[in-house]
Amino acid sequence: MRPGPEIWTAEVVYLGFGTPMLRGGLAVVGDHVAMTGELEELQRAYPGVPVVHKGKALTPPVANAHTHLDLSRLPYFKGPYVGFIRHVLANGAERGVEAARQGLEELRALGAGAFGDIVARDAVMDWLLGHSDLPGVAYREVIGPDPSKAQDVFAALKPQLLAWKKREGRVKVGLSPHATHTVSAPLFRLLVEFAALEGLPVQIHVAESPEESRYVRRAEGGFVEFMRQMKLPVWPPPGVSPVQYLADLGLLGPGVTLVHAVQVDEADVRVIAQAGCRVVSCPRSNRGLECGEFPWALYLKHGVEVALGTDSRGSSPDLDVRNEALHLWGKVDPRVLVRSATRGGYRVLGLQTPRITRGSALSQVQSW
């Protein structure tokens, strides 16, 4: 037990609901929260009690809304995005259950409250459904750029998804058609329609890098060379932005979360908002892979829910989503960042946001 009452405060205090407070705090008695509110209100209720400054933020446990746990054993890479794809392929032997176990252990040690994971291998999906004690969503990744093989890919995957859905517990099953340049239009439609019918959440990587935009608009740039080297078909480009391309296919809706969405303009963000999609930003990965800066002001202007993720250890130095927010501290309103790291992440994952209220255990309060 603590020796006496204290008032905890930070630059931002967020209770998991309402508006994050710039002059807020928690009255702490023993190992529990006794009162929450504005700092002056707490000082009136607890006169003479010491005020302890706990750093940048006090929040419920954060949610890492986007990662690739099976890449946790990859060496950290910085450089152009197409180079990162080559890096992942070159280190394929490091992927699998042991890497996912390592990543999940890191999330647990960091105190994450929930996670969203892109799962590339069946064995990892089986393991997460059977062993994860953290709640989250495991999105089965699908890659299939050849339109002639769309039906075959979907037919092979469908029974597996239905079987995994029956095993849901703390971890739910989702779908991740990988990206605009790695999934054909027919396969995209089959997957997203199936997800809607079965109630599966969807995450799609989109508008991550300038190279993706060049490829989708004009079939130019590094992706063309990469696709040819991999002996994959290079499409006739749709000639629109990656976001507009997904919209034109009829894929956007409230059950679809878009990941990264850096290379967008206001028209794209308006489309995302009107469709009811949410977005996950991974700022440090985007910086390291030369993808550009996420346009926070545009998303806030149009009322799009934004969560935070780390992406993988292959493109991020750790899986601590708080460091994504701190990376932007002073550049973006810290109240926005704190909400994105907590409530935004839980909402993306379809989970209830933990709340700090009278009686909450201090073990459920994170200081940044």
Catalytic residues: 208
- Closest to 207 (Cα-Cα) out of 270, 285, 291, 138: 291
Q: Which letter, b or e, does each residue of 203-217 get, where b requires 16 or more Cβ atoms within 10 Å of its Cβ?
A: bbbbbbbbbbbbbbb
* Distances from the Cα of 183 to the Cα of 44, 54, 145, 177, 186, angstroms: 59, 46, 4, 7, 8
